[in-house]
Amino acid sequence: MIETLSAVDLVARGFAPLVVDFPFERHYVESIVLVSLYVSLTAVAISTLVGLPVAMLIGFSEFRGKGVVVALINTGMGFPSVVVGLLVLFAVSNQGPLGAFDLVFTTEAMILSQFVLATPVITGVSLAAVTGIDDGVRDAARALGGTRIDVALVTIKEARYGVMTGVLAGLGRAVSEVGSVLIVGGNIASADGTSVTRTLTTAIQLEARQGRFETALVLGAILVALVLVINGIVLRFGGGRT
């Protein structure tokens, strides 16, 4: 996390000369990057905690209707983000079932919607990865007297690139989607130019709407660079363990 933040800082700094037109631009861009990262990383972390065990559970067991469950997960991978945004808005709105928590137009609501978006991706890709592991690996772990947890850990270790790909795909989906965070977050920045619920994607949409295409392009470049940096870090970690 610390490494990610300093990398982001570098990215923001690298672009600073391009965006001197606005008095609060530097601070504005940095706070947007931070909100984007906070929301997407949190959502993806929770999605991984939920999605990975579910993938293991489905992957290792046989039950009636397994095909249907897998089909549902795969459908969820392509679920339109605006529809998710709409449903989450209904849920967190004052009138909805979660209305009492006062979540509408907050980063928590955005995390919730990105969680809904990223979980099927992480589950689906991890599921494919763990089912692709040779049965022999698990049999060997079991024969060596491993508990169920040990067997699961060995499988995850063997399938780590697949699982990592799933997490990355989930993160990519979360950080680059605009539909749901715009609806449930409201694209809010405070009067002094600090992002409250404004992410890179919703900021790009806003800048383009106002005809400030240069700022939109700079934000777009930061978004792309960010995804590249995250990919690089994860690949490095993955590579270190082989």
Partner 1 sequence: MQRRDLLAAAAGGVAAIAGCSDDDGGNADASIRGETLTLTTTTSTYDTGLLDEVNAAFEDRYGVAVDAVAQGTGAALETGRAGDADVVMVHARSLEDEFMRDGYGVNRRDVMFNDFVVVGPEDDPAGIDGTEEVTDAFRAIAETGSVFVSRGDSSGTHAKERAIWDAAGIEPGGEWYRETGSGMGEVLNQANQTPGYTLADRGTYLSQRSELDVSIRVEGPIEGGPALLANPYGIVAVNPGVHETVNYDLAMSYIGFLTSQRGQTVIEEYTVEGEQLFFPETDSEDPNFEQYVPEGWTPDER
Residue 88 · residue 101 · CB < 8 Å: no
Q: How far is the CB of 227 from partner 1 (least distance, A)?
A: 25
Asked whether the beta carbons of 161 and 171 are under 8 A apart, the reply is no
Scan for tokens 């609060």, then name that residue: 24
Task: Please tell me the distance from the alpha carbon of residue 4 to that of residue 70, in angstroms, as a whole number.
Answer: 33
Q: Does 105 bind partner 1 (CB under 8 A)?
A: yes
- Which member of 6, 147, 190, 231 binds partner 1 (CB under 8 A)? 190
Give the x/- contact pattern for partner 1 in 146-185, rule: CB under 8 A: ----------------------------------------
Rounded Cα gap, residues 34 and 195, in angstroms: 9
Q: Is 191 in the site for partner 1 (CB under 8 A)?
A: yes
DSSP 93: S
Task: Check residue 46 for interaction with partner 1 (CB under 8 A).
Answer: no
Q: Is 80 in the site for partner 1 (CB under 8 A)?
A: no
Query: Cβ distance 88 to 116 under 8 Å?
Result: yes
Question: Does 187 participate in binding partner 1 (rule CB under 8 A)?
Answer: yes
CB of 101 to partner 1, least distance (A): 11
209 binds partner 1 (CB under 8 A): yes
Question: Is residue 21 within the footprint of partner 1 (CB under 8 A)?
Answer: no
Q: What are phi and psi of 189, to 5 degrees?
A: -125, 145
d(CA 84, CA 204): 20
Binding site for partner 1 (CB under 8 A): 93-95, 99, 102, 104-105, 186-188, 190-193, 196-197, 206, 208-212
